Amino acid sequence: MLKWLLLIAGIVLSCLWFKDKKQAKAVKQETATPKPAMAKAVSEPEAMVLCEFCKVHLPTSDALVIEDRFYCSKEHLYAIDGRGWLGDALWRISPNQDVRPENIMPDLAVVHHISLPPGGFKSQVSSQYIIDFFQNNLDTSVHPYFEEIASQKVSSHFLITRAGKLIQFVSTQNKAWHAGVSSFLGREKCNDFSIGIELEGDGDTVFEEPQYQALAKLMAELNKMNPQLQVVGHSDIAPERKTDPGKLFDWKKFQKATGISSEKLPFGLDSR
Ligand SMILES: [Zn+2]
Ligand SMILES: [Zn+2]
């Protein structure tokens, strides 16, 4: 009898010993290789961002990014948004602006040229000085010409650098201070109803190919805003005071690049 009792006790003890060992192994395995579900639960969820154009929420990794802004698609990145800002331009807000009278829709684009200091773009990247000028931040110690102009309060909606980079200073819905005393076919104060576009350059140098390309891209977006938009040079609306964009701005090339109809170029295609 005693022999049987000892045998049963032996079997029970060895069963318990095996069970313990199995459990210990299972715990060890769990700590060594956590299951994927557990790993997911402890990791950070991806941050969501807002498309600047349509305000849809999307994960950061799906967004197109420019400066500190996000876009859900190329279509929205390249468009002018509901507040009058072009997605793929650099935004450098100018204080030199005010509201359009009775919120009128602009129906004219005015092409200018600008170079700071004069001819500066030929030897260096100088577009930052134009940004500084439009933001009333021009460092007058850099060049004697800057002292002359630093107190002027001017701006444009857009600047196209020699490399074809677009910079926006004022919403298309607001008035930028680019045209000055001016008259378009009998309508005075062109700033009230126009969009100002500065090309980095001067009257003695041909404009760069990427500048025409950027201008064409910008015109396509402006035309979506107002299909009736007409285009002139600054000298067309202020002939006594201004010569820009000048004889070297190629209006024929501009028309070819934009596909704009001749009726929307009331001063024609000849150089002037
Ligand atoms: Zn969007
Ligand atoms: Zn001008």
**Mean pLDDT per 10-residue segment, the chain (272 residues):** 50 47 45 50 82 97 97 98 97 98 93 96 94 97 96 98 98 98 97 98 97 98 96 98 98 96 97 94
Give the Cα separation of 248 and 242 in Å (integer): 14
Residue 137 Cα to ligand 1 middle (Å): 33
Give tens-digit pLDDT for 31-80: 444 455 555 556 778 899 999 999 999 999 999 999 999 999 999 999 99
Q: Please, which residues have CB less than 5 A from ligand 2, an ion?
A: 112, 234, 244
69 and 120 housed in the same domain: no
Q: What is the pLDDT of residue 17?
A: 45
Report the number of distinct structural domains present in the chain. Answer: 2
How does DSSP classify residue 132?
H
Ligand (nearest to CA of 52): 1
Residue 63 Cα to ligand 1 middle (Å): 9
116 and 242 housed in the same domain: yes
Does any domain span residue 159?
yes
* pTM as predicted: 0.83
Q: What is the pLDDT of residue 37?
A: 53
State the average pLDDT for the chain: 89
109 and 147 housed in the same domain: yes
Q: Is the dihedral of CA 257, 262, 264, 269 positive or negative?
A: positive
Give tens-digit pLDDT for 86-103: 999 999 999 999 999 987
94 and 114 housed in the same domain: yes
Ligand (nearest to CA of 57): 1
Residue 271 Cα to ligand 2 middle (Å): 16
Q: In a 3-state reduction of DSSP, which class is residue 202?
A: coil
75 carries an active-site annotation? no
Q: Which of 198, 209, 240, 263 is catalytic?
A: 198
Residue located via tokens 């197109």: 64
